[in-house]
Amino acid sequence: RKEVEQDPGPFNVPEGATVAFNCTYSNSASQSFFWYRQDCRKEPKLLMSVYSSGNEDGRFTAQLNRASQYISLLIRDSKLSDSATYLCVVNENYGQNFVFGPGTRLSVLP
Amino acid sequence: DAGVIQSPRHEVTEMGQEVTLRCKPISGHDYLFWYRQTMMRGLELLIYFNNNVPIDDSGMPEDRFSAKMPNASFSTLKIQPSEPRDSAVYFCASSLVSVDEQYFGPGTRLTVT
């Protein structure tokens, strides 16, 4: 079983749609969680950290469920510029292991 | 700050040659990470340093790979001898603390023929 798994995608959605990505992790000792965004042929960049209470940044909402070892990312009113690969990242063992998921590709269509 | 700097941006070499990738982290960041990204395996952590000391190199694929960090502002990843299966994008990243956001460099796209 992989340490971090994500929806395989790709997701093709029209502009203005709401889309949700799921991520599960296997190590219950994981301490911190992030969503990164990677544009084609570019480096990954932090989209948002994921807090236990859930957090929102504009059109983006991240949720964490420690009991189910599950992380989600919701994008509302999607824009063409949201097209990218979204990487779920789990930091295990107090920073000793930073594990990236395989990513979910999103294409927002006009 | 200029961000994480990597060089070269592209490298094409023949099998058996030595390849050296370079990274300059963001000033003041204590952690430096080397990753490899391929379509098949995604983004894999190869090794990371804390205050110039290698902490975990369990991701280094084999003895052909080595990494050094002689000072806080410079690190190298060396492959000797290179093989076609080493073709990938190699990213360097740095962070202030280990559980914090990582800032990635633009990557080095390596092609071994």
Note whether A42 contacts B: Cβ–Cβ < 8 A. Answer: yes
Tens digit of each residue's pLDDT (9 = 90 or more) over A56-67? 999 999 999 999
- Give tens-digit pLDDT for B23-60: 999 999 999 999 999 998 899 999 999 999 999 898 89
A4-12 mean pLDDT: 92
B100 band by pLDDT with thresholds 50, 70 and 90: confident
Burial B12-47 (b: 16+ CB within 10 A, else e): ebeeeeebebbbbbbeebbbbbbbbbeeeebbebbb
Per-residue confidence at A96, pLDDT binned at 50, 70, 90? low
Residues of chain B in contact with residue A33, where contact means CB-CB under 8 angstroms, are: none
Interval A17-56: pLDDT, tens:
999 999 999 988 888 899 999 999 999 999 999 988 889 9
Q: How far is A90 from chain B (nearest CA, A)?
A: 10
- Nearest beta carbon to residue B45 from set A42, A46, A98: A98
Cβ contacts of B40 within 8 Å, gap of 6 or more: none
